[in-house]
Amino acid sequence: MNRTIKAAVLVSLKKKLVIKNLSFPRLKKGQILVKILFSGVCGSQIMEQSGKRGEDKWLPHLLGHEGSGVVEKVYKGCKKLQPGDEVLLSWIKSSGYNAEGAKYISTDGDVINSGQITTFSNYSIISENRIIKKPKDLSFLHAALYGCAIPTGSGMVINENNNFNKDIQVVLIGLGGIGLSALIALVSLGFKNITVVDKNVNKKKVLENFPKINFIHLINECEQINQGVYDLCIESAGTIDSIELGFSMIKNNGQLIFASHPEKGKKIQIDPHDLISGKKIRGTWGGSFNPDLDVEKFHKILKSKLIDLMITKIYGLEEINEAIDDLKNGLVQRPIIKMEH
């Protein structure tokens, strides 16, 4: 192919991403070339860029782990996918071969690393088991959110807590992309008593679309509020303080489930007496989402008009750093990057 890939590259930690042109490497076993149409931007990329994931041995490298697009080319012997397939892209493993990450060469001669999935580029070589065929009636725009935000957030409700009575008291801490996805699932399933806690008072505006949902403005992350009140806490704010706060807010025999990624090395502290009193705490890996089964299942449950609320702004790839900053500052729910070709 004579074309080049336009990609946003993490060259150095704590620095802005750099737009580079890359060559198309030859496909290896299990690798699929995908024309990326949309990519979501996740808090995980903020953590990676800021160095809060710990040492990064792969610099310079590509980023992004949720998106949608069209298959351009498959490796010889691939039976799962074929050119022209409309797909969504997820860091969560599905069926298929687990291929090694591609290595690209930039036009200035640098080797650019990548993992099994990267989506901050207009084309990407992605492992077969990170690609799922898109339901025909699911838009490419919404499909991009099925790679991380919806599986993790909605999965905490649909997959992790499907035996709960709809009348229980639920508190949701953090109304970013994951938190809003969890809220959409709660509302779609008919949960009635929901409280949202966030330190960004502007998040209250989102709740105008959800009548009868309470909002608590968390002024101080260490603040103790409504202790022992809730049956279920879903935490997605991503800090040690917010996890500890959520644990304090549930009743004895209540449950806290979290999908956040606090800074590497940070530890939560809980009172052992709370555990013997029946409180439960656990994390979730991507909302226990099985892409081969759950994409269609979630698509049938979640209301499209509510998913639209997650998409507050669409950016071009050249605006990737603005999108990351807006997400970091709580100005958008889930930034979406629209690729040009």
| Mean pLDDT of the 139-159 span | 96
> How many angstroms separate the CA atoms of 159 and 150, rounded?
12
Contacts of 263 (CB under 8 A, 6+ apart): 47, 52
> How many angstroms separate the CA atoms of 141 and 156, rounded?
22
Q: 251 in helix, strand or coil?
A: strand
Report the pLDDT value the prediction gives residue 3, as an integer from 0 to 100: 80
Contact 179, 200 (CB under 8 A): no
| Mean pLDDT of the 70-79 span | 95
> How many angstroms separate the CA atoms of 91 and 64, rounded?
9
Report the pLDDT value the prediction gives residue 222, as an integer from 0 to 100: 64
> How many angstroms separate the CA atoms of 117 and 66, rounded?
8
| Mean pLDDT of the 203-231 span | 86
For tokens 């013997």, name the residue: 276
Q: What is the pTM of this model?
A: 0.93
Q: What confidence tier does 221 reach under pLDDT thresholds 50, 70, 90?
A: low
Domains of the chain: residue spans and CATH: 5-147+311-338 (3.90.180.10), 149-288 (3.40.50.720)
Q: Residue 92: pLDDT above 90? A: yes
Distance, first Cα to last Cα, the chain: 14
Contact 97, 127 (CB under 8 A): yes
- 163 exposure class (CB count in 10 Å sphere: 0-12, 13-18, 19+): exposed
